[in-house]
Amino acid sequence: MDFFKQAGKALGDLGRQAGRQADILALQAQLGSLEGELDEVYSQAGRRAEELVKARQVRDEEIQVILRRVKDIQGKMMDLRRQVHELQTGQQPAAPAGTDTIPQPDAGPRCSQCGKLASGDETFCNNCGAKLSRPDGG
């Protein structure tokens, strides 16, 4: 009888641990969702600041520094996305950004943020990193 009590206790302990792990995962998912929401709000604020700087309504040097850093990060993101795409498709490296003046036959839409022509299978703009909207809802 002692064996069954110990086995029952061990199973109960495992169940409680599994429940805690499930709670932890649920909380981490909520945190991830809130972090994503916060990132989107920061992104919107940054886009608005960039618009104001371009319209010469704001001449804050600190914002200029931040926007230069944003462009640097976007360039690095573009390079990483290109590398991932090349690894996934086995294609040769693409031409450097800004050299695609002639649209390709399989070209996709233009980015709503920067106007760069996207290839047919891109999800994010390789120039500015914005999510691309597709006519098919993608």
Cα 59 to chain center, whole Å?
Answer: 29
Q: What confidence score (pLDDT) does residue 1 get?
A: 61
Residue pLDDT tens, the chain, 138 long? 688 888 888 888 888 888 878 888 888 888 888 888 888 888 888 888 888 888 888 777 877 788 788 888 888 888 888 888 888 787 665 555 554 443 334 456 777 777 777 776 777 777 777 777 765 555
Tokens of 34: 């809130």
Q: What confidence score (pLDDT) does residue 104 get?
A: 39
Q: What confidence score (pLDDT) does residue 88 get?
A: 79
Q: What's the maximum distance between 2 C-alpha atoms anywhere in the chain? A: 82
Helix or strand (DSSP H, E) at 24: helix 2-54
Find the distance separating the first CA and the last CA of the chain, reported in whole Å: 61
